[in-house]
Amino acid sequence: MASLSTDVLVIGGGATGAGVAWDAALRGFEVLLVDRADLSEGTSGRFHGLLHSGGRYVVKDPRAAEECIGENRILRHVLADCIEDTGGLFVTTPWDDPDYADRFVEGCRATGVDCEEISPAQAVGEEPRLNPEISRAFRVPDGNIDSWKTVWSMARGAQEHGGRVMTYHAAVAIHRDGDEVTGARLRDTRSGEEVDVEARVTVNAAGAWAGRVADLAGIEGVRVLPGRGIMIAMNHRLVNTVVNRCQMPTDGDIIVPIRTVSVIGTTDQHTDDPDDHTVLQAEVDAMLDDGEKLVPGFRRARALRVWTGVRPLFEDAKADSTDTRDVTRAHALLDHRERDGVSRFVTITGGKLTTFRLMAEETVDAVCRQLGEERPCATKTTQLPGSESGRHYRLGERLERKEQHLRDEQLICECEMIPRSKLEATMRRTGTMNLDDIRRLLRLGMGPCQGGFCIYRATGILHGLDGISAEDADGALLHFLQERWKGVWPILYGDQLRQARLDDWIFHGVLDVEHLPS
């Protein structure tokens, strides 16, 4: 069996694990980041897209609010290219307790979240689709953040400092020598081959799966209570500012404008299985109704897609119920030397995507403590690859860039403006045969047609690359279509239903996709 060695092995390639890898690499550690799937295929790639100002938690969870506003300010600088500075509004709708607004203002003051009250008329003037019946409105520094770009730029940053990244490698065993963790066994989830990794310290950053990874190390009681939530993307920006209902956090109370869409979310249902991606029709209906409360006419917009993510909520002593909203959104760092007498092993879970950098900093501090080394953290001030200019992402920027070359380039995905050269270069660079991996990198097939017009072209291009058989290319096409379908069927009405019929004619009627010749 092959073997590798490293200073720090990080299990879990979401925002937290990639953040740990970036932080540790900057401190001069040799790092290996592994994920059982692609980077950001867990909760980080399935979240709502909100760079929290902290406003959502000022009354219910002040600690989480303070962490969010602190990190919000730092990320705007170090991750500028991954963030759009949309700003945010908290508004009191006729369905909200009017007394909450004063508690909200007091909470913002106590936790340091910037908040300015503006008149409802001004809010509706700025966001004309907003419910005109709102009675109060507050401006906060919310924004949106692109998690795929964020995670990949941290992985790239770690690689530039000598780090290694292994996707599609699951930790299937954690090695122990008495009271010490000495590394892990990884299994390539595509080929089945195994590799042993020897590490000075192993970090468990497996999010909602962290309890399972801790179990592999024989450590008991790491309970992560998975909270499943759904989100729905509408096909254009119904608002340009993040809009939150000014009330205790509940379902369907935030709309986040991100890229060319707006996303409403979310719900919070206890589940026993972090891989549970059930979408209930009742949840979808309730979510669309909630959208109407913030933006009247919401249901008439075209719903593109629904998806789920699972919150990694660490269960603390106070929460022995299964109401996941009552578990803290703040994170949990478990130094297993202190907690369980097992050294060279650290677990980090819980928190928010907005707080991943802080979580990573505290984790690598714990790694240093275990190794008895002092190496200061540099992620507060070091800009990630791609963010060196300090300029935030701006809607329209991609179109402007592309317009200069559109006539020279063959466009493969019109919705997301992906030219052939970029698609080919990405396929060659990553060597992946999974078109869903390409989707996460380039947004292939993420527009209104959900791949209907571009994915057979992309498959042809994949097949044209060296060494890819027709069978593999067909398999990639089918896999992509099946994955897309999961997010489309629960919201089939209006224009998206027409689109789905058209896609069905293309793929079944014309191509007979399930019986392609090999």
Ligand X SMILES: Cc1cc2nc3c(=O)[nH]c(=O)nc-3n(C[C@H](O)[C@H](O)[C@H](O)COP(=O)(O)OP(=O)(O)OC[C@H]3O[C@@H](n4cnc5c(N)ncnc54)[C@H](O)[C@@H]3O)c2cc1C
Q: Under the rule (CB under 6 A), what is the footprint of ligand X?
A: 11-17, 34-37, 41-44, 47-50, 52, 170-171, 205-209, 213, 229, 231, 265-266, 309-312, 351-354
Nearer to ligand X, 245 or 311 (CB): 311
CB of 208 to ligand X, least distance (A): 6
Q: In angstroms, how far is CA 259 from the centroid of its own chain? A: 14
Nearer to ligand X, 174 or 462 (CB): 174
CB of 391 to ligand X, least distance (A): 22
Nearer to ligand X, 354 or 450 (CB): 354
Nearer to ligand X, 34 or 366 (CB): 34
Nearer to ligand X, 70 or 207 (CB): 207
Residues 6+ apart with CB under 8 A from 133: 93, 94
Query: How many other C-beta atoms lie within 10 A of the C-beta of residue 402?
Result: 15
DSSP assignments along 445-514, one per residue: T-STTTTTTTHHHHHHHHHHSTT--HHHHHHHHHHHHHHHHHHHGGG--HHHHHHHHHHHIIIIIIS-GG
User: Rg of the chain's alpha carbons, rounded to an integer?
Assistant: 23
Q: Go through the chain and tell me how many residues it has.
A: 518
CB of 44 to ligand X, least distance (A): 3
Residue 453 tokens read as: 């017009």
CB of 312 to ligand X, least distance (A): 5
Nearer to ligand X, 21 or 137 (CB): 21
Q: What share of the chain is helix, strand, coil (3-state, %, to 5)?
A: 40, 25, 35
CB of 483 to ligand X, least distance (A): 15
CB of 40 to ligand X, least distance (A): 6
Angle at the Cα of 324 from the Cα atoms of 76 and 348, rounded to 5 degrees: 50
Taking the CA of residue 165 as centre, how many other CA atoms within 13 Å lie in the half-sphere pointing to its CB? Answer: 27
Whether 230 and 308 have beta carbons less than 8 Å apart is answered as yes
Nearer to ligand X, 170 or 455 (CB): 170
- Fill in the DSSP letter of residue 14: S
Nearer to ligand X, 7 or 41 (CB): 41
CB of 470 to ligand X, least distance (A): 30
Nearer to ligand X, 412 or 491 (CB): 491
Whether 245 and 96 have beta carbons less than 8 Å apart is answered as yes
Torsion angle, CA of 11/16/21/23, rounded to 10 degrees? -150
Whether 357 and 73 have beta carbons less than 8 Å apart is answered as no
The values of phi and psi at residue 230, to 5°, are: -105, 155
CB of 308 to ligand X, least distance (A): 7
The values of phi and psi at residue 276, to 5°, are: -80, 115
Nearer to ligand X, 36 or 484 (CB): 36
447: left (phi over 0), alpha (psi -120 to 50) or beta: beta
Nearer to ligand X, 200 or 352 (CB): 352
- Fill in the DSSP letter of residue 336: H
Query: How many other C-beta atoms lie within 10 A of the C-beta of residue 136?
Result: 21
Nearer to ligand X, 17 or 107 (CB): 17
Whether 244 and 56 have beta carbons less than 8 Å apart is answered as yes
CB of 145 to ligand X, least distance (A): 7
CB of 343 to ligand X, least distance (A): 21
CB of 376 to ligand X, least distance (A): 23
Residues 6+ apart with CB under 8 A from 175: 181, 182, 183, 184, 185, 196, 198
CB of 189 to ligand X, least distance (A): 9
Q: Name the residue number minimizing CB distance to ligand X.
A: 14
With both helix axes pointing from N to C terminus, report the angle between 435-442 and 420-430 in degrees, rounded to the nearest 10: 120
Task: Measure the CA–CA gap between 184 and 202, rounded to whole angstroms.
Answer: 8
3-state secondary structure (DSSP) of residue 126 = helix
Report whether the peptide linkage leading into residue 266 is cis, meaning its omega lies within 30 degrees of zero. yes
